[in-house]
Chains A and B, each alone.
Chain A
Amino acid sequence: MSNRKAATARRRLFAVTRYHAIGLFISLLFIAPIAWSALVSFKPSSEAARPPLPPWPVEGFSTQSYENLAKYGVGIWTYAGNSLTVAAATVVVTVIISLLAGYGFSRFNFPLKNLLFVLIISTVMIPFQSILTPLFLILTKLGLQNTLPGIVLIYVTLHLPFSIFMMRNAFDAVPKEIEDAARVDGASVLLMLRRVMLPLVLPGVATVAIFAFLASWNEFLAALILLTDQKKYTLPVMMAAVRSGQFGSIDWGAVQSGVMLMMAPCLALFLLLQGYYIRGLTAGAVK
């Protein structure tokens, strides 16, 4: 009897160990590149330029790479500020427009509603690189070329189809009767949207916000083409400049510290909103 118990315990221990070992191995695979970047970013510049093994700093920790990066061009804070402004503005404008449009598509009936919706969604299928030239010309005509509002407009346009689709689904998942109840309670459309509907579609909003933030924070091509003034560069464009080096020498430490710097807000935002994000993506999957 006790033998059987011991055998069961051994089997369970083995299963648990195997489960955690596999999990740990897979986690290491995912963490390794990030850890490597982080470790290299803390090597002194001279060491960072040498062959990368071992990955950890052997000549002592140093923030030299970060200092070099901070002094790059017109200063890292200008670029980070530009990126943050563009990403935040893109998030705010995308959320507001997709919230209202999603509500409209979900709740109101108007002629050609479905056609219009399909039309909006179908723009996702156009590769955006193919329309960069016309976009550039339009922005120039509008006097928005080489401005941050111009690039925000482009990003918002690119993210709206997905965002509207996401928000329409989020509103579709809210029972109509809740809205009826709010109307009986005397709520106006805007008050109802703000106090009743918004909290209920928050997972959708979080998903839209994360996508818009990540995409606009990391976007490179449009920023590279539309921004010509070095003072208006966003972080990805600056990173490309760091990566291409000066006079043939590349400061690998600065590149890795740039990677860390660019990753930090994305990670923070995702960790902050991940609960909502997952709920947003799976909304309506089960009742």
Chain B
Amino acid sequence: MSAQHSQAPDKATIELKGVRKSFGSVDVIHDLDLKIAGGEFIVFVGPSGCGKSTLLRMIAGLEEVTDGDILIAGRDVTDLDPAKRGIAMVFQSYALYPHMSVRENLAFGLEIARTSAAEIKRQVEAAAEILKIGPLLDRRPGQLSGGQRQRVAIGRAIVRKPLVFLFDEPLSNLDAELRVSMRVEIARLHRELGNTMIYVTHDQTEAMTLADRIVVLRDGRIEQVGSPREVYENPANLFVAGFIGSPRMNIIDGICLAANRLSIAGTEIELDRPLPAAPQEAIKLGIRPEHWLITDKQADALPAQVEFAEYLGSTQYVHCRLANGELVTIEQRGGTDAKPGERLWLNCHQAALKIFSMSGEARRRVPAPIE
């Protein structure tokens, strides 16, 4: 890596203050606040249409902000052109200029900024070295593979020496194998350059592996902000619980009978710790597939019938129906293969049991503040 990149004043903070976006009468981003520390790798995740790409484009300056302020490195950039915000963006479709060679693609932004030819050459070569695209410099984008194009797109971002890198689902057009290797590259890039990066994806693996903090969005609102471990282990609500993790967390109905007695699908279960719920209160229980145990018949176990099983090599997902008809997924490592129609008895790791109110908020701890 060249010295110039490591010396860049690249630890820019980003602050969104009451940011709102509406298209006509439809609000797509609702009064959103978020602080991103300098050098942090933030991942926006959420289902399609949740506003994650719109939010990224607002930070980039490609989408107007209806209300609120966006600060990059302490400077209000809300009304600035994209080029003046100190950002660089990598697009899902790469968005390379098809009629220019790789070299011209990389140099285009610098040419517009009237950088000297010698400096352009130096920076293009430095970026090409970081991304190992040196031999491709004289080719056109059409002559490159998907992975190479994405490297060039990232290279084009690097030569701008931005304060902040913005990635809009950069890997979703690549095949599975390439996606893994590019993911590792992006992580390396963040380690080497140290810039603040915002990354939009709907791929949970990318989110979990890359992020310092994950921002989970739904319908233009932040549902939770936290480290991958926080959002996985302590989801703030049912939405986050269901969205993060694959296969998704099992959500089943239950009734709190007493401080540490619970009824699930007609079976009473004794808990080793008190429930954060009032007696006779209906609650939702969240249990991750890996936290189920298949046991011999016990008093506290739930009867279930196997619907079908998916064999994945190291693990097996067993899809079962509980006595009340709810479908649950169990991750089974080792043991005998479950057969459709077979009766099982299920128990769960009580420490991993999540309790949610019927309206969906997690009961164990208050949601993490947006910080």
Interface residues in chain A, defined as those with a beta carbon under 8 Å from any beta carbon in chain B: 175, 177-178, 180-187, 191, 195-196, 199-200
CB distance from A115 to the nearest CB of B (A): 18
Let me know if B82 is at the binding interface, CB within 8 A. yes
Within 8 A of A (CB), among B93-148: 93, 95-99, 108-109, 112-113
- Kindly list chain A residues whose C-beta atoms are within 8 Å of the C-beta of B92: 177
- Residues of chain B touching chain A, judged by Cβ–Cβ distance below 8 Å, are 57, 60-62, 81-84, 87-89, 91-93, 95-99, 108-109, 112-113, 156, 160
- The reply to whether A177 and B113 form a contact with Cβ atoms under 8 Å apart is no
Shortest B62–chain A CB gap in Å is: 5
B110 nearest CB neighbor, chain A only:
A185
**Contact (Cβ within 8 A) A186 B91:** no
Among B84, B91, B112, point to the contact of A177 (Cβ < 8 A).
Answer: B91
When C-beta atoms are compared, the residue in chain B nearest to A176 turns out to be B95
Main secondary structure of the interface of A (DSSP, over half): helix
Give A187's nearest chain B residue, CB to CB.
Answer: B112
Q: Please state if A180 and B89 are interface contacts (CB–CB under 8 Å).
A: yes
Chain B residues within an 8 Å CB radius of A181: 89, 91, 95-97, 156
Cα of A53 to Cα of B41 in the assembled complex, Å = 85
Contact of A185 among B57, B93, B98, B112 (CB under 8 A): B112
Contact A183 B81 (CB under 8 A): yes
The answer to whether B62 and A180 have CB atoms under 8 Å apart is: yes
A186 touches B109 (CB 8 A): yes
Query: Could you say which of A182, A183, A184, A200 contacts B99, with CB atoms under 8 Å apart?
Result: A200
* Least distance between B285 CB and chain A CB atoms (Å): 43
The reply to whether A184 and B89 form a contact with Cβ atoms under 8 Å apart is yes
CB pair B112 A186 closer than 8 Å: yes
Query: Looking across the interface, which residue of chain A has its beta carbon closest to that of B92?
Result: A177
Tell me whether B83 and A177 are in contact (CB under 8 A): no
Contacts of B97 in A (CB 8 A): 178, 181-182, 196
CB nearest neighbor in A for B87: A184
> 8 smallest A-B Cβ distances: which pairs?
A186-B83, A185-B109, A177-B95, A181-B95, A199-B99, A186-B112, A177-B91, A184-B82
The smallest C-beta distance from B99 to any residue of chain A, in angstroms, reads: 4
Are A177 and B109 touching (Cβ within 8 A)?
no
Contact pick for B98, options A183, A184, A195, A200, CB 8 Å: A200
Residues of B within 8 A of A178 (CB): 95-98
Cα-based distance from A177 to B88 in the complex (angstroms): 13
Q: Give the residue name and chain of the B residue nearest to A195 (CB).
A: B108
- Do residues A180 and B83 form an inter-chain contact, with CB atoms below 8 A? no
- In the complex, the answer to whether B82 meets A183 with C-beta atoms within 8 Å is yes
Smallest CB separation, A152 vs chain B (Å): 31
Complex: A141 Cα to B211 Cα, angstroms = 71
CB distance from A177 to the nearest CB of B (A): 4
Contact of B95 among A175, A187, A191 (CB under 8 A): A175
Smallest Cβ-Cβ distance to A177: which chain B residue: B95
Are A191 and B112 interface neighbours, CB within 8 A? Answer: yes
7 contacts between A and B (CB under 8 A): A178-B95, A180-B82, A181-B89, A181-B91, A183-B82, A184-B83, A185-B112
The answer to whether B93 and A177 have CB atoms under 8 Å apart is yes
How far is it, in angstroms, between the C-alpha of A182 and the C-alpha of B156 when the chains are bound?
11
Q: Which residues of B are found within 8 Å of A180, using beta-carbon distances? A: 57, 60, 62, 82, 89, 91, 95
Measured in the bound complex, the distance between the Cα atoms of B84 and A183 in whole Å is: 10
What residue in chain B is nearest A191 (Cβ atoms)? B112
Which residues of B lie under 8 Å from residue A196 when comparing CB positions? Answer: 97
CB atoms of A186 and B81 under 8 A apart: yes
Q: Using Cβ atoms and an 8 Å threshold, which residues of chain B touch A183? A: 61-62, 81-83
**What are the residues of chain A within 8 A of B109 when measuring CB–CB?**
184-186
Q: Give the nearest-CB partner of B159 in chain A.
A: A185
* A182 to B60 Cα, complex, angstroms: 12
A183 to B57 alpha-carbon distance, docked (Å): 12
Please report the C-alpha to C-alpha distance between residue A200 and residue B303 in the assembled complex, in whole angstroms.
64
Asked if A175 and B108 sit within 8 Å, CB to CB, the answer is no
Question: CB-nearest residue of chain A relative to B162?
Answer: A184
A182 to B91, CA, bound (A): 12
* Residue among B87, B88, B92, B98 with most chain A CB within 10 A: B98
| Complex CA distance for A271 and B136, rounded to whole angstroms | 33
Q: Are B60 and A184 in contact (CB under 8 A)?
A: yes
Q: Which residue of the partner chain A has the closest CB to B89?
A: A184
Complex Cα distance, B156 from A131, in Å, reads 54
Alpha-carbon gap, A184 to B56, bound state (A): 13
Q: How far is the CA of A195 from the CA of B93 in the complex (A)?
A: 20
Complex formed: what's the CA distance from A36 to B74 in Å? 79
- Residues of A with C-beta under 8 A to B89: 180-181, 184
Q: Do A185 and B95 touch across chains, with their CB atoms under 8 A apart?
A: no
Chain B residues in 8 Å Cβ range of A175: 93, 95
Question: Chain A contacts of B160 at CB under 8 A?
Answer: 184-185
Closest to A178 in B: B95
Q: Considering the complex, give the chain B residue whose CB is closest to the CB of A196.
A: B97
- Residues A185 and B99 in contact in the complex (CB < 8 Å), given A175-B93, A177-B91, A180-B91: no
Q: Which of B57, B62, B96: most chain A CB closer than 10 A?
A: B62
Chain A residues with Cβ under 8 A from B60's Cβ?
180, 184
The winner among A180, A184, A196 for most chain B CB atoms within 10 A is: A184
